[in-house]
Amino acid sequence: MISIKELSFSWPKQKAILKINALEIKTGESIFLQGPSGSGKSTLLSLLAGINQPSSGTIEILNTNLSELSAGKRDKFRSEHIGYIFQMFNLLPYLSVIENVTLACEFSKKRKVKALQKSKTVIEEAKRLLNHLEIPEQLFCQNILNLSIGQQQRVASARALIGSPELLIADEPTSALDQASREAFIKLLFKECKSAGTTLLFVSHDETLKPLFERYVCLKTLNEANS
């Protein structure tokens, strides 16, 4: 799913803030990437999402070298293959819950087709995911601002999961939840990812979540720029 080789990133005229010799993530794995502040976590995620490009080295996702794609093609690749749960959720306040979830399929025909393979309509697939993530049906047409932080988090997850993207990146999605709620949410996420065959890269500073995952990667150790 992901292959990183001799990766380095630095801003112009500054020393490298990210150096990773090698990292391989297999299809279907659930990875816990633990990274404290300053470890290069945000930089790595921006590179994986194709927002920034490496200064040297390669990042391949699904055997595609992101550095060889134009900015527009990287955007298209991300919308078709990568679901992203942002730390601050990035839900649109002027849209309803359902509209926020189905938005991902507006940007990707491929994900729309895959959503329609699971349900008769994209809206029905959005409802299925929301039900799975335990959002009450009476909230589906509500403005997103009427939901609690925990509910907004689940809506953001449904948006990232709709259309079964091959890779799901979750950036600190449980930071606003208590421990019991975090574990319950992660188990729901595992179940949906397994059903869709989605590879999960879960990023957090919270080491207590580590035992829940198949594999643990410490970015502070992995990033040679920290040494």
27-53+70-226: in CATH 3.40.309.10:
no
- Please calculate the CA angle 180-197-215 and round it to the nearest 5 degrees: 55
pLDDT the model gives residue 45: 92
Convert 108-147 to b/e letters by CB count within 10 Å (16 or more is b). Answer: beebbebbeebeeebbebbbbbbebbebeeebbeeebeeb
Q: List the chain domain ranges.
A: 27-53+70-226
Six token digits for residue 146: 């009427």
Taking the model in full, what pTM does it have?
Answer: 0.92
The 3-class SS string of 135-197 reads CCHHHCCCEHHHCCHHHHHHHHHHHHHCCCCCEEEEECCCCCCCHHHHHHHHHHHHHHHHHHC
Q: What was the pLDDT predicted at 227?
A: 65
- pLDDT tens digits, residue range 168-223? 999 988 877 777 788 888 888 999 899 899 999 999 888 888 999 999 999 989 99
Kindly calculate the radius of gyration of the chain based on its CA atoms and give it in whole angstroms.
Answer: 17
Mean pLDDT over each residue of the chain, to the nearest integer:
92
Predicted confidence at residue 109, as pLDDT, reads 94
Q: Give pLDDT < 70 ranges for the chain.
A: 227
